[in-house]
Structure 1
Amino acid sequence: MKIKFQSTRLYLWHTFNMKKIIFVVSFLIIISIESIVNITEWSNAFKSSTKYSELLHSKSTEFNSYNDSIVLQTQFDIVLSYYSEDIDFVAQYIRSLRHVLTLKKLNPRIIVYNKNSKVNNSVLKLLLKADIIQLLPNLGREGGTYLYHIINNYDIIANHTIFSQAGVEGITNRGLADWYLDRLDKQFNSSVGYMPLINNNMITNYDCGSHRTGHFPRMVQVWSMLEQSLCPPGGQAVAFRGQFLVSGKRIRDRPLKVYKYLYELITVNSSHWLHRDIRSIFYKSTPDNPIFGHTVERIWTILFKCFKNDLYDRCKRRECACFDES
């Protein structure tokens, strides 16, 4: 009887320790993934093509403050948020987009928002062969850029817009990655309301802000604000990285005041209580990289009503879009 008791106790002890080990390993994996993502974001943000460095960092106040106006509505806009990404890389991305057959027919307009006051706007426009360039303060990550564009062009927003970071995912030495080209060339048409432009493995489901890789409680509040209801269980589709295509109709389905409020939150100064939210012990919220910016990165599917939890499966089947009603 004593031997049996000791065996049971030994078994329970081993089981308990195994659970502890699994928990610690899982925790370390999550931290490692987050650290790699942060390091990658940091390195991408500070890449700069040395052969253009002198030109790009011209001290001329006239050129550095150069801004184009947006006065006309177009069929298709490509909006890029730029800081100091490699010029050759960004230029190749723009060329690749211009050559997609479905987009080429729509004569897409390239709009670059430069968030680096040390970069010469007119030179950047020339090197990227952009149609429009504007200088913005470096606030709110790429989400702040997209919201600024929507707010200031709400009444003349393009029929469709691609919103993307300049350090894009989905570009190769040959041009656009196969999955990216397939989305634009085979899956896009005039009735598309929203389409994520990121690899399938960057599409997942959150359960009202909760996910195995982290918890974003502000998502629940944003859901309630947008949908006028409590966040329902069952999971909501989230597409990371802030790269997507959206229709003007779907943008205007939300009132302008919603975008203004989100922009106000994503660009708050460093003393604001939102910066006290905690993501991890390695992360410090700042106006140029606010924690709320990472929440906004996860709510585009909700904002543009393409959050059903089968989005990942549909993207695997090459049906990666939500459509506007005719």
Structure 2
Amino acid sequence: MLLEFSKDQLQIVIARYSENIEWLKAFNRFAIVYNKGETIVDGAVVLPNIGREGHTYLTHIVRNYYDLPEYTVFLQGSPFFHMKEGADCAKLADIINESLTKKVPFKGFAWFRLRCDRLGRPHQMSDPASKGKWSGWGKDIPVGEVYEKLFNRTPPEQFIASAATGLFMVRKDRILTRSLEFYKTALSIIEADPCDEHNTGHAFERLWQVIFNGSKAINP
């Protein structure tokens, strides 16, 4: 067994579209899959295909705000690509085990961190190889604008994103630092840009560490 915890201690939330999630069998007793693709996944919760993984994560929090485990792990359907070279189920389990044992409040799983300005720069949204893959191609990322909508305050000039790929785990108290209404507002911001035409979902990827930083002082 890769993880030695109870369901009261840990839950793994998977945002899936079309990825092969056979790897998830190693974590089945902890996992809930939200499926946005056309392929049927047994036991999965079906969601409309909008808002990237941020829509999935926020939907989960809103629906389960009063019934969260000690830790929640949020993952895309194919997480290992953005982790350190050679990452697999065993290494993912090692990170989760260590973080939970040490009671780390927030942990991003990507092998890198990003520093960006209010427009998400530098970014690769105009990469010719990605043209046509999403509606917001060629546009900036509204990190500062989304921050201001979330917290009703002037955004900082720079952000350091430690969970830029939408792969992270967070402790319950960090989630509950923000109210249920906060997460409903966050979800409505994403739902207002369902096809991510304005890169709202990408902005959330650069704001998770702020949303879950535990600071009540920035609550709106």
TM-score (norm 1): 0.51
Task: Say if 2:183 is the partner of 1:263.
Answer: no
The answer to whether the 8 A contact 2:84-2:111 is kept is no
Change (3 A) 1:74 1:221: same
Q: Distance in 2 between matches of 1:142 and 1:210?
A: 18
Match of 1:229 in 2: 153
Matches within 5 A, 1:173-188: 175-176=88-89, 178=91, 180=92, 182-188=94-100
Q: CA RMSD in A?
A: 2.9
Q: Unaligned stretches of 5+ in structure 2?
A: 1-6, 125-138, 216-220
Whose RCO is larger (CA < 8 A, sep 6+)? Answer: 2
Task: Say if 2:64 is the partner of 1:153.
Answer: yes
Q: Deviations over 1:70-119 (max 9, x none)?
A: xxx72100000112112xxx222441x57xxxxxxxxx621001112x33
Match of 2:201 in 1: 293
Residues matched between the structures, number = 191
The answer to whether the 8 A contact 2:148-2:155 is kept is yes
Decide which of 112, 122, 141 is 2:33's aligned counterpart.
112
The answer to whether the 8 A contact 2:141-2:202 is kept is no
The answer to whether the 8 A contact 1:159-1:248 is kept is yes
Q: Unaligned stretches of 5+ in structure 1?
A: 1-72, 99-107, 126-132, 269-273, 275-286, 308-326
Q: Distance in 2 between matches of 1:120 and 1:112?
A: 11
Letter in 1 for 2:88: G
Identity over the aligned pairs, expressed in percent? 28
Deviation of 1:164 (Å): 0.5
The answer to whether the 8 A contact 2:62-2:184 is kept is yes
The higher radius of gyration belongs to 1
Decide which of 75, 99, 103 is 1:191's aligned counterpart.
103
Q: Distance in 2 between matches of 1:115 and 1:82?
A: 6
Task: Say if 2:115 is the partner of 1:205.
Answer: yes
Change (3 A) 1:267 1:205: same
* Matched position secondary structure for 1:156: coil
Matches within 5 A, 1:18-167: 74-86=8-20, 90-95=21-26, 97=27, 109-116=30-37, 118-122=38-42, 125=43, 133-167=44-78
Q: Distance in 2 between matches of 1:171 and 1:237?
A: 19
Deviation of 1:184 (Å): 2.6
Letter in 2 for 1:304: F
Q: Distance in 2 between matches of 1:197 and 1:263?
A: 23
